[in-house]
Amino acid sequence: MNAYRVKLRHLAPAERDQLEKLSRSRTAPARVNERARLLLALHRGETITSVAKGLHMTRHNIYNWIRRFNENGLKGLEDRPRSGRPHTYTIDERVEVIATALTHPDDLNLPFGCWTLDRLEAYLNEEKKISIKRSRIDELLLEEGLKWRKQETWYGKKVDPEFKKKEHLSKRSIRRLLKAVA
């Protein structure tokens, strides 16, 4: 079948409603959103050339999406699985990395109070026998929605009860010193 002879098939009302919803969605993948918009534009009677220009796509790509939609319906708008290298680490190893990162080092009798990527890498390599680099640990944590936070230097109230008095005294002494220098 010649790709340039493909025409958009008739849309059922339910399909058109679903395409409208996808074209306005803020949560659907951007590519699916764009494909829904191109099909709706063609359904409204726009030419393939004008749709291609408006969406910055080639005509050939538009014909491919029309063909996939005609054959598979709304499922045809989704990306197909892509080939690529499989995950290097097993699910169990990935779970162990996440679990270790979420465990406080004190609970593991380690001599430090917080994790760094270097400490986590060393612990996983030596204790858990998971050969993993710090950059991959960071990627795994980000995939799970975990982010490093800056270590806080103190928590809650100030330890020194006289802090307020000292704070004001030091500000005044700095001003006096600046006046004396001027």
pLDDT score recorded for residue 78: 93
Amino acid 129: pLDDT: 93
pLDDT of residue 81: 84
pLDDT for the residue 157: 56
Q: Digits of tens for pLDDT over the chain (182 positions)?
A: 455 578 999 999 999 999 999 999 998 889 999 999 999 999 999 999 999 999 999 999 999 999 999 999 999 999 888 888 877 889 999 999 999 999 999 999 999 888 999 999 999 999 999 999 999 999 899 888 888 776 555 555 556 666 666 665 555 555 555 566 65
Question: What are the DSSP calls for the chain, one per residue?
Answer: --GGG--PPPPPHHHHHHHHHHHH-SSS-HHHHHHHHHHHHHHTT--HHHHHHHHT--HHHHHHHHHHHHHHGGGGGSPPP---PPPSS-HHHHHHHHHHHHS-GGGGT-SSSS--HHHHHHHHHHTS-----HHHHHHHHHHTT----PPPS--SS-S-TTHHHHHHHHHHHHHHHHHHH-
Q: What is the pLDDT of residue 85?
A: 80
